A and B are shown apart, each in its own frame.
Chain A
Amino acid sequence: MNWLLDTLSLSSGMLAEGPTVSVVELMSLNNATHILLGSVLALLVAVFLAGKFLKHQSEGIVNASIVISFNQRIRAWLLLSAILVAGAILGRGYTVVLFGFISFWALREFITMTPTRRGDHRALFWVFFLLTPLQYILVGLGQDFYGLYSILIPVYGSLLISARIALAGDYKRFLERTAKIQVGLLITVYSLSFAPALLDLKLYTTEMLAAPLEEQVVWNSVQGTGATFGLLFYFVLLVQIGDIFQFVWDKILGRRIIAVNINASKTWEGFFGAMITAMLVGALLSWFTPFNWWQAPCIALVTAVMGFTGSMTMSAIKRDRGVNDYGTLVQGHAGILDRLDSICFAAPVFFHITRYFFTSVL
């Protein structure tokens, strides 16, 4: 968890530079966001304490390995929430930077686990030090650069990677090598960057959009400045609810395993349980998003399904490499990517649904 200490000390350094700004930002977060952040954190701390309590119970009541696994998930969730809260206090720019660091680290884990050849070295250099920062700079510059940041990596990145590897002069397993780097970059950097990209959307509810053009009011301004942070938090919460309840329902109801060679613990019962739970939570928390009572559960469903496919896909890659966790290879415990796989897959879909139906781009 050194990276977290690094990022935290970095952000506290930034805090020291402009304390007045951050206090102003904090004050201007709207009430709904305050209540949301407060209640989610309180809930997490309660679950965390419950996990600690379970850990000290005798073997007979609960399975120790399940408790350990559950506690690890909760701890990762707490860390992520802490980052989001820090981001909400510091402002949009800092949140984008924090996500940039997370992407950088996740990409590191991905490429470390994937065998590359000497000929890939220069291409990897550009991937780490040009494409990754550039993607986040464009996201940080905001919606005006949507056209560029939505194609930078899938188009120009892909071309650059294959061209650089070709120039290095090693043709062995060329397609496989380029694909590995492209997929890693696409999942850990491109996809994840759509989560902080949410912060710059000018949102409208469907009623607001239905109003005549000159009478339209932006939902953000009705809600207050922290409104888009609320939406980002809502998104992360939905994915995590999907993850955690998949785990919980698997343990309680699980019978039919979906794909035993990919993940031996994910079952259809757990899948449907998690989807229903995510829809319920999505609907319950819809009051701090621009979504109404029926839109919210639909979006929650799509988000949770994407999260599920994300963790299945990343499991498939891990099984192929013969490791349990992305972190194992070097750190001996689960890495960042093991906790973010579902968020990476859900972020672009959640972003585009929101941008398409709840902003005035159409």
Chain B
Amino acid sequence: MQTAPWHVRLTGLVLAFAAKLLSGASARWRHCQPDSCQRIYFANHTSHLDALVIWSALPRAMRSLVRPVAAADYWASSSIKRYAASSFNAMLIDRKDVKVHRNPINVMLEQMGDTYSIIVFPEGGRSLDGQMQKFKSGLYHLGKKRPDIELVPVYIDNVNRVLPRGEFLPVPLLSSITFGEPIWLENGESKNDFLNRAHQAVLSLKDR
């Protein structure tokens, strides 16, 4: 595990603080505790801030071990964004340029190694109206290739109102991040069944 330069870590701390202040995010752990073991967190996707907000909601000791997966076409589009992304430990994945030998799933698994946890957004993109879309199959392949890892559902509430799609000025409303009970890919479970179950696991955290 390599350590980032001090200014990158400092920027990360500042960003996490700002994100917490701005989104008023409170983290809730339900049937799941913060742990440094390897995990895949999967969440609904509503705003560019999502990756940063979830990462900030984690306890500080865990942050260096958790890497939010973010879209390279957005976060690598300028040097400032690229720097910001590196400060919150983001793993930039190209959504557009997918090749057989550089399949995003393999890239993620490779970069995870046996130390890092990742945060993924299986919807693939942000929804316009805050409603959850169907999950893409990436989560299934991750679960299949790493059956030893806990898959933790995460529900992000209200961040889409803090910074909706297409806006650049945030409004400081109060949002919340709920971490739910881990799931695994069952033996012989079909792709559709699993994706539906994962979708339900996130959705069930909505109604408390």
- Chain A residues with a Cβ under 8 A of chain B: 6, 104, 108-109, 111-112, 116, 118, 121-122, 124-125, 128, 329-332
In contact, A118 and B164 (Cβ under 8 angstroms): yes
Q: Give per-residue flags for B143-178: 1 if the beta carbon is below 8 A from chain A beta carbons, else 0.
A: 000000000000001100100100101111111100
- Chain A: which residue is nearest B176 at the CB level? A330
Chain A residues with CB under 8 A of B158: 112, 330
Chain A residues with CB under 8 A of B172: 104, 108, 128
Contacts A122-B167, A125-B170 known; 17 new A-B pairs at CB < 8 A? A6-B21, A108-B24, A108-B172, A108-B173, A111-B171, A112-B24, A112-B161, A112-B173, A116-B161, A118-B164, A121-B164, A121-B167, A121-B171, A128-B172, A330-B26, A330-B174, A332-B28
In contact, A331 and B26 (Cβ under 8 angstroms): yes
Nearest-Cβ distance from residue B158 to partner chain A, whole angstroms: 7
In the bound complex, what is the Cα–Cα distance between A111 and B161 (angstroms)?
Answer: 10
- Chain A: which residue is nearest B161 at the CB level? A116
- Chain A: which residue is nearest B169 at the CB level? A125
In contact, A330 and B171 (Cβ under 8 angstroms): no
Chain A residues with CB under 8 A of B157: 330
Nearest-Cβ distance from residue B119 to partner chain A, whole angstroms: 21
In the bound complex, what is the Cα–Cα distance between A128 and B174 (angstroms)?
Answer: 13
In contact, A125 and B171 (Cβ under 8 angstroms): yes
Chain A residues with CB under 8 A of B173: 108, 111-112
Q: Give per-residue flags for B16-34: 1 if the beta carbon is below 8 A from chain A beta carbons, else 0.
A: 0000010010101000000
Chain B residues with CB under 8 A of A108: 24, 172-174
Q: Give per-residue flags for B170-189: 1 if the beta carbon is below 8 A from chain A beta carbons, else 0.
A: 11111110000000000000
- Chain B: which residue is nearest A335 at the CB level? B174
Chain B residues with CB under 8 A of A124: 171
Task: Please report whether the interface of chain B is mostly helix, strand, loop or mixed according to DSSP.
Answer: loop
* Interface size bracket, B side: 10 to 19
CB under 8 Å from chain A, chain B span 177-204: none
Q: What are 27 A-B pairs at a CB distance below 8 A?
A: A6-B21, A104-B172, A108-B24, A109-B174, A111-B171, A112-B24, A112-B158, A112-B174, A116-B161, A121-B161, A121-B164, A121-B167, A121-B169, A121-B171, A122-B169, A124-B171, A125-B169, A125-B171, A128-B172, A329-B174, A330-B24, A330-B26, A330-B158, A330-B174, A330-B176, A332-B26, A332-B28
Best-surrounded residue of B164, B170, B174 (most CB of chain A within 10 A) = B174
Q: How many A-B residue pairs have CB under 8 A?
A: 42
Chain A residues with CB under 8 A of B164: 118, 121
Best-surrounded residue of A6, A112, A122, A124 (most CB of chain B within 10 A) = A112
In the bound complex, what is the Cα–Cα distance between A330 and B158 (angstroms)?
Answer: 9
In the bound complex, what is the Cα–Cα distance between A331 and B171 (angstroms)?
Answer: 18
Chain B residues with CB under 8 A of A125: 169-171
In the bound complex, what is the Cα–Cα distance between A330 and B174 (angstroms)?
Answer: 7
Query: Which 9 pairs across A and B sit closest by C-beta, in order of nearness?
Result: A330-B174, A112-B174, A124-B171, A112-B173, A330-B176, A125-B169, A125-B171, A121-B167, A108-B174
Nearest-Cβ distance from residue B156 to partner chain A, whole angstroms: 12
Nearest-Cβ distance from residue A323 to partner chain B, whole angstroms: 12
Chain B residues with CB under 8 A of A121: 161, 164, 167, 169, 171
Nearest-Cβ distance from residue A51 to partner chain B, whole angstroms: 26
Chain B residues with CB under 8 A of A111: 171, 173
Nearest-Cβ distance from residue A130 to partner chain B, whole angstroms: 11
In the bound complex, what is the Cα–Cα distance between A104 and B173 (angstroms)?
Answer: 10
Nearest-Cβ distance from residue A119 to partner chain B, whole angstroms: 10
Whether A330 contacts B169 in the complex (CB less than 8 A), given A108-B24, A118-B164, A121-B164, comes out as no
In the bound complex, what is the Cα–Cα distance between A73 and B48 (angstroms)?
Answer: 39
Nearest-Cβ distance from residue A280 to partner chain B, whole angstroms: 39
In the bound complex, what is the Cα–Cα distance between A121 and B162 (angstroms)?
Answer: 9
- Chain B: which residue is nearest A329 at the CB level? B174
Best-surrounded residue of A116, A118, A124 (most CB of chain B within 10 A) = A118
CB under 8 Å from chain A, chain B span 67-82: none
In the bound complex, what is the Cα–Cα distance between A109 and B174 (angstroms)?
Answer: 7
Nearest-Cβ distance from residue B169 to partner chain A, whole angstroms: 5
Nearest-Cβ distance from residue A182 to partner chain B, whole angstroms: 16
Nearest-Cβ distance from residue A281 to partner chain B, whole angstroms: 35
Nearest-Cβ distance from residue A285 to partner chain B, whole angstroms: 36
- Chain A: which residue is nearest B130 at the CB level? A118
Chain B residues with CB under 8 A of A109: 174
Nearest-Cβ distance from residue A103 to partner chain B, whole angstroms: 13
In contact, B174 and A331 (Cβ under 8 angstroms): yes
In the bound complex, what is the Cα–Cα distance between A120 and B40 (angstroms)?
Answer: 35
In contact, A128 and B175 (Cβ under 8 angstroms): no
Chain B residues with CB under 8 A of A122: 167, 169
Nearest-Cβ distance from residue B149 to partner chain A, whole angstroms: 29
